[in-house]
Each structure stands twice: as structure tokens, then as C-alpha cells.
Structure 1
Amino acid sequence: MIFKRAQELTDLNCSFVTATIIAVRGSAPQDLGAKALFSAKGLEAGTVGGGKVEAACEKYAQEILGQSHQKAPQTITWNLQKDIKMTCGGEVTFLFEHFAFQSWKLALFGAGHVSQALTRALINLKCQLTVIDDRSVWLDQLPTNSKLKKLQFDKPEEAVASFDSNTFFISVTKGHTSDVPVLREIAKHFPNAPYVGAIGSESKGNALRTELQALDVNADFLKKLRVPIGLSFGSNDPEEIAISIVAELLTVRDAWLKSRP
């Protein structure tokens, strides 16, 4: 069960920590070799004894998961009476192993034809994708997948603040007027996001920048704003447009990951 869950989390690009009992002296709530797996959500599988000792392991695992980079395996020995406040007076040594995955997060505003094709292409990759639209009929046409979250907002721009500065933002909304509020919110909350782009022509890009500039959007953000998006190949077929966008996203992602400390 624990190894199956580890594989599932790996497939989802979800970081986790395992805690394994590697030494016992005196009485302990579990045997040598007992293992538990923790993600950011808490205990996922296995057990190292439950109760206070498992709570202590979970707390320590969460501290490890809070690190930005993968930590080397480490051991820690707890006196169950002094350190964990348990009645049994044994000592237990745990091996904590950190399996960190760089979660690639994308926010796709709009669920129309290009978004449908783009979503189907992206969910084949290791990523976490959120699609936001005000139209449930379009969101309902998207596939069901553990990597995909669908959000319906009457004002899609209100969803922007729920993401973070490492998110890749793509706007493929109904048009210019619905792109502007989304891009303005991205500029407000995440001006240094690694990727911000909107579908459209170069003339649309110029019009968007002019309107956003009039709304006091930062000039550096406007320079980084990508319109059009996607590499220059293929036809105007939604599936081919989607492939060109994915190619650009992967190119930017790889360069961004290499540039990070």
C-alpha cells in the first residue's frame, strides 16, 4: 500500500516524506522497519505507531516538506518519554527520506476550443493545471483528470490571487475585453510570474499593452507579456495551436528551472 501510494504521488508530481523506524531500544509502539508516508496533506499511507509518535513524525515531515529543495536523508532519535511525552520509555531512531518534485503549475483562463485542445495536451505531462471560466457548459466538456482542476467564476480574474508567483498564466478567454481584467490582476499579484501570455495576433498584443498601460500596469510586466503565444509553426487548427503553445511553455519552463538557485 505504501509503495503504491508513493508511485501515485510521484506520477502526480507531489512531494512526500517517508519515516522509517531503523533502530529501537526498549519498548516502542511499532516494530523495526515500520514505515509511514506523509505529504503536505498529512499521513498518506503506512504507520509508525499512531498517536503521539506519529504526530511527531508528521510534524517533522511537514518541516522537511516546507524546504524549497530536496533534503538529504536524515536520522533522528527520540526518547519517547522525554521527547514525545509518552509513557513507554524506549528510544526510537527514524530515517526521514524526502522525495521532492518540482510541481509545474499552470493557470489557463478560458475553456473554449483552443483551451480544450491545450488542456488535453497538457494533462499528458507532469503538471498541475487549473482551467477557469464563467461558462459551466465549456468547463463540463473538459476531461476528468487528477492533474486538472476546473473553476467556475463569474469574474474569472477573481481566481488569480489563489495562485502563486511560480504559476504559468495563459489567457485564452472569449476576447480582448475579458483578457484585460485577467492580465491586470496577474500584473497586480504576480508581476514576476515565469510566464504570462494571451492568445491573439501582434496587433491584439499591442492593443492589450496600450490598454493595460492606461490602467497603470508596470512597464516591465508589459515587456514580458507574450502575445501572440506559441511557436511559429502549424495551422490555425486548435490542436496544432495547442501543440505550438505547449512547445513554447516547455521551452520557457526548462530555461526558468535552470535559472533558479
Structure 2
Amino acid sequence: MPAPHGYIERLAELAASGVPFASVTLVYAVGSVPADAGSKMLVTAAGLDFGTVGGGRVEAKAIAEAQLLLREPGGSSPRPFLREWNLQRDVGMTCGGVVKLFVELYNHDPWQIALFGAGHVASAMIHCLLPLPCRITCIDSRADWLAKLPDDPRLSKVCTDNSPAEVAALPENAFVLCMTMGHRTDRPILEEIFRQGRQFPYLGVIGSAAKRAVLQRELRAAGISQEQAESFHCPIGLPIGGNLPSEIAISVVAQLLQQRDVLAR
């Protein structure tokens, strides 16, 4: 049975929007069952979004299970899986059939990345990151620099003259990078992170070892503990490439991927 008309288009729309959802496909049907193999539906946290796998109790059970999975936190999306149900025993129907449903989750607990700064390296990083399964927030005071960034539903652009005030809204699992115009604008963001007691899985500041030493000294003078003042990456990125913004961006994204995968083990 071919995919229902509009299914692929709606799946692409949901995938691009960043909304968590599940695709459920009836891949096996034997006996008295409510739909043919190949029937498909898309489910969001709000319920059935598109399509059908036959309606009735089978569909209601599949929707409820998909919604439960979408609500579960986790570091990465569960792998696709099969559910096999005997309609009489497992679903409570009088039918004697058996179905197998293939469930895939999309946009489930995506990798969160927050960039303070929309300059050349941040822009190059965003172009590297957007093909990956992640959600990016870019924060800067310069509307013209933010406007140069690509328009993508997985990229949020925040224009503000008070970047430290945005720290409170960052999710706990965000990878955070300070890439503003210099240490004078990076330091207040770091200070706010530490004063709030935030502990992100990755916290980095673009710059040299000399910049790191200045930041640490100023943070300690502001009352930040030595342990906190030493808890950020600077310089950032793997020791590869040169000083072109695109090469720096690749080295930093590679380090972020490395850290993400270490945490996922």
C-alpha cells in the first residue's frame, strides 16, 4: 500500500518545524484487522496529526503509546522499534488478528546549542550545525548581524542589549558558547551563569589562553569561586585547521560532537 497522499509532505513539515512527533506504520497485519499493511499516521504530543492505522482501539492504543514516548526525557531519541499486538489479548478487541507497528520518533529531545554572538565564526558554526539534529539559539545585540543568519525553524534569533538576562531561559542540557565581540561582553554572561549555579554539559568561550587567564582573574575578583572560574573551555575547538572562520567553526563543532557523544555513552 503506498503512503497516504500528503503523508510525506506533512512529515517533512513537522520535521522542519522542530515539533517532536512520531511516525507509526502498520507493517504487518494478519487475520481480522482494521487496516491494511502500509497504513501510516503521524502523532504529536497533542494527538493524531495526520493519517490513520485503522482507527478504533488499535489506533487509540498506538497514539497513547507514542504520546507517552514523546513525553519521556532523554539524551537522544530512541531508535525505531516494532510493537506486536494480538488484538484480542493486547488490545481487548473481539477480532482475532495480529498487527505489527513500526514507530519512529523525530525531533525528540533535540541537541540544544546556545551561541552568544552572531559574528563570523558563530555564523559559520550555524551553517555547520543546521544539517545536524539540533536546535540552535543565537543571541546578539546587533540586529543586522542576526539578519545575515539563515532563516530556519530550528534556529532562534534573539536580539537583545542584555545578553546575560537570557541565561535563565537556557535549557539545562544546552551546550553554551560565548562568542561575543570580546572578553568585556563575554565575562558578564559567564558571571551570570555561575551566579545562577548553572552547570551546562559544555560551556566554552572563544579566545586564547591569555583571554582565559584574564576572564578567570576578573571572575574571581567578582566573587566567583575558583572551581567555577575554571570550569569553562577556552580556547575552544580541536587542534585542527587554521584561523579562517570556517576552519575555526569546523574545529569547534567537532569538539561539540565529541563531547555530545561522550555524554551519550
Q: Structure 2 matches for 1:60-209, cutoff 5 A?
A: 60-67=65-72, 68=74, 70=78, 73-74=82-83, 95=101, 97-99=103-105, 103-189=110-196, 191-209=198-216
Shift of 1:248: 1.6
Shift of 1:246: 1.6
Post-superposition CA distance 1:186-223 (Å, at most 9, x none): 33456331110011111111111222233343443333
TM-score, normalised relative to structure 2: 0.73
1:2 aligns to 2:10 (yes or no): no
Q: Give the Cα separation in 2 of the matches to 1:51 and 1:219.
A: 61
Shift of 1:179: 0.8
Partner of 1:86: none
SS at the partner of 1:239? Answer: helix
| Contact 1:127–1:147, Cα closer than 8 Å, also in 2 | yes
Unaligned segments of structure 2, at least 5 residues: 1-5
Q: Give the Cα separation in 1 of the matches to 2:57 and 2:194.
A: 45
Q: Structure 2 matches for 1:14-53, cutoff 5 A?
A: 15-19=20-24, 31=35, 35-40=40-45, 42-47=47-52
Partner of 2:3: none
| Contact 1:37–1:46, Cα closer than 8 Å, also in 2 | yes
SS at the partner of 1:231? Answer: coil
The residue type paired with residue 46 of structure 1 is G
The residue type paired with residue 110 of structure 1 is G
| Contact 1:17–1:99, Cα closer than 8 Å, also in 2 | yes
The residue type paired with residue 188 of structure 2 is P
Partner of 2:231: 224
| Contact 1:12–1:126, Cα closer than 8 Å, also in 2 | no
CA separation of 1:221/1:137 partners in 2, compared to 1, >3 Å: closer, same or farther?
A: same
The residue type paired with residue 220 of structure 1 is E
The residue type paired with residue 44 of structure 2 is S
Shift of 1:164: 1.5
Unaligned segments of structure 1, at least 5 residues: 81-88
Q: Give the Cα separation in 2 of the matches to 1:236 and 1:155.
A: 29
SS at the partner of 2:50? Answer: strand
CA separation of 1:146/1:78 partners in 2, compared to 1, >3 Å: closer, same or farther?
A: same
The residue type paired with residue 159 of structure 2 is Q
Shift of 1:61: 2.9
Post-superposition CA distance 1:81-100 (Å, at most 9, x none): xxxxxxxx999989583526
Shift of 1:130: 1.4
Shift of 1:170: 0.7
1:212 aligns to 2:219 (yes or no): yes
Q: Give the Cα separation in 1 of the matches to 2:46 and 2:161.
A: 29
Count matched residues: 248
CA separation of 1:134/1:42 partners in 2, compared to 1, >3 Å: closer, same or farther?
A: farther
| Contact 1:192–1:221, Cα closer than 8 Å, also in 2 | no
| Contact 1:191–1:221, Cα closer than 8 Å, also in 2 | no
Partner of 1:84: none
Partner of 2:249: 242
The residue type paired with residue 119 of structure 1 is I
Identical positions, percent: 36
